[in-house]
Chain A
């Protein structure tokens, strides 16, 4: 029983991380059909922003020592600014190009950010001590669950609730949903393209910062590649959930997180190293069964 509870919490917390990532990618994809491959590097950038301006292996000089009620908003702001800037400087000029060109541009942008970080901080992982008390286990129905896992799940749920309220109850949310459904139509009905796209980028950047915070607290290190893995899974989750469907992306994020934890727990010992192969294999199988994704919006079906 406690083992099962442990697995459930592992699955939920990993799934939360992927869901937050998938949300960041799905929002931008929805409004401008851009698969943002720089998202992983946005995450890494936010983590390293905590170290700034120190480049030593262990020291935290500036942001990392702020009290949490200042650090969290600051980091969210950094994520949002970086993301919005990348839209204004780069992606704005790619609005009418084909998806492949846009994707390669986003990849190139991520490449630039990553190597900027590498140049400043070198490739050695840095240690960050953020709230070590969160790593302590909490006893819950007999299982020992790290506080951070519970917090991750709670944060994700809060973010989801806020986002749902925003999307369903406010004017901007309505505009964004309309834009995700059919961008041209939304524009014709008076939705301002620039406003919606900037908003999507800002939210996506904040989500990247949130993932960065969780990852850094969890691992205690800042590593250049730490966002890339989340980004990949998040990207896959967006497609499996049905491109353009925001709830679908979240659900698929949880699904993939759950699948990898369950594979880890149930595969025989020798096959455990091949867990990722099973996860990717499962992705292919899901696509074969439902090529349009699990929760594809009606508009995504091509009409002939």
Chain B
């Protein structure tokens, strides 16, 4: 008999709660949602994958990264190269090597390959960038984003340049979106309870003490970087299948900041925060989108003027951060202990993030 329960026993509830909650959302959307609403839900699931991927690196290492959307770009374009029918590819993407030009892979194969491609790229570039610390590393990831965007926007024969590549089979639906989000959550959870995840969080909280205890900061950061790149590469692949077109403008500053905002609003140091940030922001965006379209109140249609949506979202973000600077979840994980009988525990809730010792 061990004197304390295992890490998994104590923390497994968090990913289960998250995945089940998302499953309920997916089922409700599938049952009752319109076509447009289904697309919104799929978009939300893809955003969850991206933000959970960001959390794996940002949340565990404490370093802000502006470069992760470039992995989404890599994944999406890899999927485009693999999944577009050869007939179309030979017209639009003449510069591809012959073996790539003549293959067409189904979604189930193309998606993991895209994730691995992004992860490999992260492994190579991460060996360089992860040597830096603090804000220098953040800016270097910014540089990474700039380089990838510039190359993909201008390498016309391989990426179609600034324009869009069309013809990726649109095979996404809510269930695949949910599955993707669930996979992302499981990977993120397994990483954060792994030896490397624990070590990385130790470096986040007390870098000097951690390295004095023999933790190789560069190595642990690199592992997290690669894992998060894999998740975001998968998200990029699903995004390509969702829109069936890709263009480099979709993977640049706007997406970077929107996803970072979602992470920070939810609580950047917790997995539950990553997921709930996306869900809350998506609900708000959808709400205001509908208000802009107009709602009928007793015969009158009341509509907000166009553009109010973004302004309101911005203001709400600021207000949330003003009152909850640690995010909506205050960096805590959802857990089931004692709930609903004892909501407030005498001692702090053990989370996947708080060191278990």
Contact = CB atoms under 8 A, between A and B. Distances in A.
A151 interface: no
Interface in B257-282: 257, 260-261, 264-265, 268
Nearest to B64: A100
Interface string A267-285: 0000001111101110110
B128 A288 contact: yes
Interface in B234-259: 253, 257
Given A277-B147, A277-B151, A280-B146, A101 B64 contact: no
Interface in A118-143: 118-119
B136 A103 contact: no
B150 to A, nearest CB: 4
A277 B147 CA distance: 4
A112 B311 contact: yes
A298 interface: no
Interface string A87-123: 0001001100111110111011101100110110000
B129 A284 contact: yes
Interface stretch (B22-30, B73-81, B173-181, B315-323): B315-323
Contacts of B321: 94, 97, 101, 104-105, 108
A32 interface: no
A206 B64 CA distance: 29
A240 B138 CA distance: 12
Contacts of B306: 119
A97 B139 contact: no
A115 B311 contact: yes
B312 to A, nearest CB: 9
B155 to A, nearest CB: 8
Contact of A287 (B136, B305, B326): B136
Contacts of B308: 119
B154 A273 contact: yes
Given A101-B264, A118-B307, A274-B151, A283 B314 contact: no
A100 B268 contact: yes
A16 B208 CA distance: 40
B311 A119 contact: yes
B307 A98 contact: no
Majority DSSP secondary structure for residues of B touching A: helix
Interface string B132-153: 1101100110111011001100
Contacts of A280: 142-144, 146-147, 150
Of the candidates A97, A104, A232, A243, the one having the most CB atoms from chain B within 10 angstroms of its own CB is A104
Contact of B154 (A101, A116, A274, A288): A274
A1 interface: no
B317 A284 contact: no
Contacts, number: 123
B307 A119 contact: yes
Contacts of B344: none
The size class of the interface chain B forms with chain A is: 35 or more
Interface string B285-313: 00000000000000000000111101101
Nearest to A115: B310
B322 A288 contact: no
A281 B143 CA distance: 7
B134 to A, nearest CB: 8
A100 B264 contact: yes
Contacts of A90: 318, 322
A104 B142 CA distance: 15
Interface string B76-107: 00000000000000000000000000000000
Contacts of A100: 64, 264, 268
B314 A276 contact: no
Interface string B114-133: 00000000000000110111
Contacts of A277: 146-147, 150-151
B104 to A, nearest CB: 29
B325 interface: yes
B162 to A, nearest CB: 10
B152 to A, nearest CB: 10
Given A98-B325, A115-B311, A291 B136 contact: yes
Interface in A241-269: 243
Nearest to B268: A100
A287 B150 contact: no
A228 interface: yes
Contact of A119 (B140, B253, B305): B305
A112 B307 contact: no
Nearest to A112: B314
A36 to B, nearest CB: 14
A108 B318 CA distance: 6
Contacts of A182: none
A239 interface: yes
Given A112-B315, A119-B308, A287 B261 contact: no
B318 A291 contact: no
A70 interface: no
Contact of A104 (B128, B147, B261): B261
22 contacts: A97-B325, A100-B264, A101-B325, A107-B260, A108-B261, A108-B317, A111-B310, A112-B314, A112-B315, A115-B307, A118-B307, A228-B253, A275-B150, A276-B146, A277-B146, A280-B143, A281-B143, A284-B128, A284-B144, A287-B132, A287-B143, A288-B132
Given A236-B143, A281-B147, A288-B140, 6 more contacts: A101-B264, A107-B260, A112-B318, A276-B146, A277-B147, A288-B132
